[in-house]
């Protein structure tokens, strides 16, 4: 058994070393020494959760070491998957905003055309076009939510479907 542990108080808070005896160490705002009876024969190091004040608890108490390792491996896989999904959604949102930005010039033109025609036909059509872009992005983001493994997330395009359709402004090559 080890009686003491050095913990990092920075996210993700973790145990960074264990000691049999209390080491000479001056606690800092980022690291401190805390008492904890770590049993390497039954406990997984990655199962140790560190609270903001440095207190250590085992989140898999009651599990065998093998069971705890499986749970930690699953946590690690979920962490990577969620990271990839967050990146995908952010990129899809950015691409959608880029596409809307690129046709913003149509707003002024539609207003002027509607003014001359005495109706709102052009503005209505533009609103539909913009909505379809937003829907396209939202649907694509919903597809990200449905992903359940890292390989599928990596294969999932960050470009919404039909992304290559003409935007009528040729200044940006969308692909």
Which of 31, 130 has the CB closer to another protein? 31
Q: Applying CB under 8 A, does 12 fall inside the site for another protein?
A: yes
DSSP string, 103-157: TTHHHHHHHHHHHHHTSSHHHHHHHHHHHHHHHHHHHHHHHHHT--SHHHHHHS-
Q: Which tokens sit at 139? A: 């649907």
Tokens 């705890």 correspond to what residue? 68
31-38 β-sheet, strand order: 14-19, 2-8, 31-38
Alpha-carbon span 38 to 43, nearest angstrom = 7
Identify the residue among 32, 59, 63, 91 touching another protein (CB under 8 A).
91
Give the shortest CB-132-to-another protein separation in angstroms: 21
Tokens 């930005």 correspond to what residue? 101
Tokens 């990596």 correspond to what residue? 154
Give the shortest CB-119-to-another protein separation in angstroms: 34
Which of 40, 124 has the CB closer to another protein? 40
Site map for another protein, 54-73, x if CB under 8 A?
---------------x----
Which of 102, 125 has the CB closer to another protein? 102
Where along the sequence are the contacts to another protein (CB under 8 A)? Answer: 6, 8, 10-12, 14-17, 23, 25-26, 28, 30-31, 40, 44-46, 69, 76-77, 79-80, 83, 87, 90-91, 94, 97-98, 158, 172-173
């Amino acid at each position: 058994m080890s009686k003491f542990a050095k913990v990092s108080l920075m996210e993700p808070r973790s145990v960074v070393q264990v000691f049999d005896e209390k080491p000479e160490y001056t606690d800092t705002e980022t690291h401190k020494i805390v008492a904890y009876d770590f049993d390497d024969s039954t406990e997984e190091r990655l199962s140790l959760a560190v609270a903001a004040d440095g207190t250590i608890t085992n989140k898999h108490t009651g599990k065998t070491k093998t069971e705890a390792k499986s749970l930690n491996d699953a946590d690690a896989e979920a962490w990577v998957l969620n990271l990839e999904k967050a990146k995908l959604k952010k990129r899809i949102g950015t691409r959608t905003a880029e596409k809307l930005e690129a046709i913003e010039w149509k707003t002024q033109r539609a207003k002027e055309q509607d003014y001359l025609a005495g109706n709102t036909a052009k503005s209505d059509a533009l609103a539909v076009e913009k909505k379809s872009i937003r829907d396209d992005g939202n649907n694509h983001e919903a597809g990200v939510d449905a992903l359940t493994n890292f390989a599928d997330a990596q294969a999932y395009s960050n470009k919404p479907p039909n992304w290559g359709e003409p935007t009528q402004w040729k200044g940006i090559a969308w692909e």
